Amino acid sequence: MIVLKYFLAENKAKEIMRRFSKTPDDRIRATLVKHIGPVAAKGTPDLLNRFLSDKDDRVRANTIEALERLSSKRFIRVFSRFQSDKNNRVRANVIKTLFNLGERVHYSSLKEMLSFYDDPSMRISAVWAIGEIGQADKHCLELLNMVVKDTNEKLHGNLKLVLKKIGVVHELEFLRVKFKDDIKKQIKDKIIRTTELKMYQFKKEKYILIRLLGTITVDTFLSLRLRLQDLESENDNDIVIDFTDVEYVDSSGASLLSNFAKKLDRKGRFLFLFGLSNRVLEIFQLTGIDYLFKIFPTEKQVQETFF
């Protein structure tokens, strides 16, 4: 039937509709109205109307889509009665169809669907309908905000597709509230689990000691940056980093440390480094950032000089 619709004349399509309209197979009726119906009903919409009362949800939903393609406002009153249909797909198709026929009643209907907290399918279909409507106005964004904290994975997948489709991801404040925090946490946990750079933190009386083991490279850059960001925002202490077991620092690691030192300096705090190998010290000197740090051979000398 899907292929036939491209070759059928209207009269032939009507004949097929009449022949298969009473078949007991729900799948055949659903396919019939979706693909043959719009061709057959161009001059005789009543051929499709009868399927609006079909017992099968898919048939009713497909019938609504097929009638929508006829672009006739004569069906608005007929469609309106299906806004409270028990089936989520039927409701969503009706809302989309009424919108495309010029009826702006979708906000209240979608809000009602999104209020079915015990029925994920109803909420998923509502999100789909919002994407089909494709508007990014204030009311639409408020509706999407209702599902931000929903735990259903399929719903979140649909939501992301909708956001991409309507093209307003940068305008959605709730992304910063929900998605950004969730994604940031997932990335942070993954980085910390898979990093080749081990980090240990110790609270001293007058400073915070960070002991590093491994390499500071582009592969471990993010894990160290996350730790330094926390150190910058969570306390007012000076920072002392133990480089005794740091084997290598590449340019990205050197840049990260230099930027961190500058941020601390602007806040009146200091960054001390000790235990640097000749190789690491040479990298700092070659990149011209060694002057930004207070570098010592041992932690004891840091304490004796400044603390």
Cα–Cα distance measured from residue 71 to residue 73, given in angstroms and rounded to the nearest whole number = 7
Inter-CA distances, 69 with 9, 34, 58, 97, Å = 17, 10, 17, 9
Question: What's residue 106's pLDDT?
Answer: 73
Query: What percentage of the chain carries pLDDT values higher than 90?
Result: 13
Instruction: Give phi and psi for 44, each to the nearest 5.
Output: -135, 75
Rounded to an integer, the average pLDDT of 207-218 is 90
End-to-end CA distance of the chain: 84
**pLDDT tops 60 at residue 304:** yes
What predicted TM-score, i.e. pTM, was given to this entire model?
Answer: 0.45
Question: What's residue 1's pLDDT?
Answer: 47
Rounded to an integer, the average pLDDT of 125-130 is 87
Higher-scoring residue by pLDDT: 301, 35: 301
Rounded to an integer, the average pLDDT of 87-112 is 80
User: Residues 271, 264: contact at Cβ < 8 Å?
Assistant: yes
Question: What's residue 168's pLDDT?
Answer: 54
**pLDDT tops 60 at residue 191:** no
Would residue 17 be called left, alpha or beta, if left means φ above 0 and alpha means ψ between -120 and 50 degrees?
A: alpha
Cα–Cα distance measured from residue 103 to residue 198, given in angstroms and rounded to the nearest whole number = 60
Domains of the chain and any CATH numbers: 1-60 (no CATH), 71-177 (1.25.10.10), 191-306 (3.30.750.24)
Question: What's residue 37's pLDDT?
Answer: 65
Rounded to an integer, the average pLDDT of 289-303 is 90
**pLDDT tops 80 at residue 178:** no
**pLDDT tops 50 at residue 170:** no
Higher-scoring residue by pLDDT: 210, 166: 210
**pLDDT tops 60 at residue 192:** no
Cα–Cα distance measured from residue 151 to residue 206, given in angstroms and rounded to the nearest whole number = 44
* Residue 268 DSSP one-character state: T
Confidence of residue 30 (pLDDT cuts 50, 70, 90): confident
Q: 1-5, 217-221, 223-227: which has the minimum mean pLDDT?
A: 1-5
Confidence of residue 85 (pLDDT cuts 50, 70, 90): confident
Question: What's residue 26's pLDDT?
Answer: 76
Q: 30-34, 120-124, 223-227: which has the minimum mean pLDDT?
A: 30-34
Rounded to an integer, the average pLDDT of 84-89 is 81
**pLDDT tops 50 at residue 231:** yes
Higher-scoring residue by pLDDT: 274, 6: 274
Half-sphere exposure of 171 (CA within 13 A, CB side): 12
Which pairing describes strands 198-203 and 207-216: parallel, antiparallel, or unpaired?
Answer: antiparallel
Q: Is 56 exposed, middle or buried (0-12, 13-18, 19+ CB in 10 A)?
A: middle
